[in-house]
Amino acid sequence: MKQIKELYGEIFNIQRYSTHDGPGIRTTVFLKGCPLKCFWCQNPESQSIRPELLYSKKLCIGCGKCIDACPQKALSRDRVYIEMNRELCSRCGNCVRSCPQKARTLAGRSITVDALMKEVLKDVYTYENSGGGVTLSGGDPVFQHEFALAVLKRSHEELLHTAIETAGYVRWDVLRGLAEESDYIFFDMKCMDSQKHKAGTGVPNELILENAARIVKMGKDIHFRMPLIPGFNDDEKSITALKQYVEDVLELPVKQHVELLKYNKLAEDKFGQLDRLDEQKSMETQSDEKFEYLKSLLYD
């Protein structure tokens, strides 16, 4: 008998009881891999499809247990802190398990569709009461679209409400398949100017804007979100361009379909934890006054 190969995906988190990732209370599954490389990324450990090790100096007490646990001799002491040779690391996770402080995290693990559904279905009674469901986030689910599509289909078979969070940078036939199996779509808009978009994310935005329009045409429940990045898109020109696109091109009311998100500083530290200090930025969150002003440009 012909054996059907099980489909595996790479995920780095399953967040239960999420209240900001779609209607009701939800379980959000974070998939690894992203076609964009935003300089402000909130989950830089999600960008690569491979598992990545994060090390928090803030939590480390310098006990050295991780050094002893490492079979690859990838860890050594640098005064109080621990240095890591990432080329030697086999991503076995021994150092993570041996750390008494939870200062080390391995972001990324393989999981089958069946095993993931078992995890998701543990919360099924919560979904029933709240009108929630399952949300696929990342990274960007488009990066592992076969796996994402299988999870969405299986969720629908279980009568769960489904949502995806995407920046829409993928071939239309791929995105259409995911959109067809999604009851709700969060669509990230980073910047309306294509050159600037490329400078900030690594890719231009023409395909993204075309895909957004195609999803709207499908009649899907779509919600646009623009993360406000200091000095990049938190200005009058950027917000006005977004408003014009949504109202004039997509013909959607901005109040119901667009949300601005304040810059979140918390993720800045993660670049250091991944030994990517050269990419770490220090930017200030918008003041309440500025945030209100930008919202007024969009909604008034």
Which residues would be at the binding site for ligand SF4 (CB under 6 A)? 53, 60-66, 69-70, 72, 74-75, 82, 84, 89-95, 98-99, 101, 103-104
**Minimum distance, C-beta of residue 63 to ligand SF4, in the bound complex (Å):** 4
For 211-232, b where at least 16 C-beta lie within 10 A, e where not — what string?
Answer: bbeebbeeebebbbbbbbbbeb
Q: Of 166, 178, 221, 163, which is closest to residue 22 (Cα–Cα)?
A: 163
The least distance separating ligand SF4 from the CB of residue 97, rounded to whole angstroms, comes to: 9
CA distance 169 to 54: 27
Cβ nearer to ligand SF4, comparing 100 with 231: 100
Closest approach of ligand SF4 to the CB of residue 274, in Å: 13
Q: Which two tokens stand for residue 100?
A: 């008494």
205 contacts 226 by C-beta, under 8 angstroms: no
Task: Report the residue number, 53 or 228, with the smaller CB distance to ligand SF4.
Answer: 53
Nearer to ligand SF4, 88 or 218 (CB): 88
Give the strand order in the sheet containing 161-166: 109-112, 8-18, 26-31, 133-137, 161-166, 184-188, 222-227, 258-261
Shortest Å distance, C-beta 52 to ligand SF4: 10
CA distance linking residue 224 with residue 257, whole number of Å: 6
**Between residues 72 and 194, which has the closer beta carbon with respect to ligand SF4?**
72
Between residues 48 and 130, which has the closer beta carbon with respect to ligand SF4?
48
The distance of closest approach from Cβ of residue 53 to ligand SF4 in the complex, given in angstroms and rounded to an integer, is 6
Token pair belonging to 278? 């050269």
What does the block give as tokens for 248? 């004039």
For ligand SF4, give the closer residue by CB, 69 or 207.
69
Q: Smallest gap, in angstroms, from Cβ of residue 276 to ligand SF4?
A: 16
